[in-house]
Structure 1
Amino acid sequence: MDKHYPVIDTRSIVMRWGDMDAVGHLNNTYYFRYLEQIRLDWLESLGHGIDPSGCGPVLAGTACVFRKEITYPATLDITIELEKLGRSSLKLRHHFYRWDDPGVVYASGEVTLVWVDYQAGKSVSIPDDIRAAIDAAAPSV
């Protein structure tokens, strides 16, 4: 099993009937959609919703390892764990857990975000208040 990093947040998502594939499992594309949704929710909770006229994150890379199939109905807890914090980039690790099967990792994912000035197309520093929120959630990092 992969390494767990300091958890900076956990978000919940309720699986919808239409999120399944033809054999009744959570469709592989929805793992990435769920990661996108929890990431956006987390950033919005910090006051950093996506504003195309300003600065914010772009997706530089993502991956997911599917460990155990998720079937409907399911409520999932998905962690947001800090793997690496750079000047303009942030690498996050995620673990998918079912509420009705606590402690079992159903999938693990990762995402690398780079903060950019959307208009200029250039990288910028991650905002100080996001750094402060990460430090408050995971002070040992």
Structure 2
Amino acid sequence: MRIVIPEERKLVHEMILPIRWGDMDAYGHVNNTVYFRYMEQARVEWITSLGYEVAPGRESMLMMNGFCNFYKQLSYPGDLILKTSIGTIGRTSMDVYTSMALSTAPDEEAAIGGATMVWVDLTTNKSAPWPEHVLEKLR
């Protein structure tokens, strides 16, 4: 099953990440679980670029679910271009997408995945509306 990626999304961050030798599995390509680590690193870099820490305090942005559509196998060596974009921002959640392409073929997506992120009050462990200071940065 392939998840449909919306055309309407806003690019918010871009980074380069090297593929490591240890990212590969016995088949000689990047293990499918590692793609989720790549997306996680892209989200962490984006969140910290906004001036927020990923270590939880009283409130935080947490991942509710995740997915990845795989298009091409990746292998070591190589550098990935990871582009993070956001979809519609809801009252307490938003969808965050990460596309992955080799730096040697930047227009050919190797994979694209995403996560639903939710703003959570960690004292109650319940979702909460996005604070205005977060919305200002996301807009």
Normalization by structure 2: what TM-score? 0.88
- Rounded Cα–Cα distance in structure 1 between residues aligned with 2:25 and 2:101: 19
* Structure 2 residues not aligned, in runs of 5+: none
Check conservation: 1:84, 1:92, Cα contact below 8 A.
Answer: no
The equivalent residue for 1:87 is 91
Q: How many residues align?
A: 135
**Which amino acid is 2:97 matched to?**
R
Among 10, 28, 31, the residue aligned to 1:6 = 10
Q: Percent identity?
A: 33
Q: CA offsets per residue over residues 22-76 of structure 1, 9 Å max, x none?
A: 1111111111011111111111111211233321112111100110001111111
Among 45, 64, 69, the residue aligned to 2:68 = 64
Offset at residue 2 of structure 1 (A):
4.4
Find the residue that maps to 2:85 and give its secondary structure. strand
Among 108, 119, 134, the residue aligned to 2:138 = 134
Offset at residue 131 of structure 1 (A):
2.2
Moved over 6 A (4+): none
Q: What does 1:14-29 align with in structure 2 at a 5 Å threshold?
A: 14-29=18-33
> Kindly tell me: are residues 121 and 41 of structure 1, through their superposed partners in 2, closer, same or farther at Cα, counting changes over 3 Å?
same
Find the residue that maps to 2:44 and give its secondary structure. helix
- Rounded Cα–Cα distance in structure 1 between residues aligned with 2:41 and 2:131: 20
Normalization by structure 1: what TM-score? 0.87
Query: Bigger shift: 46-55 or 107-116?
Result: 46-55
**Which amino acid is 2:32 matched to?**
N
**Which amino acid is 1:131 matched to?**
L
Among 22, 46, 57, the residue aligned to 2:50 = 46
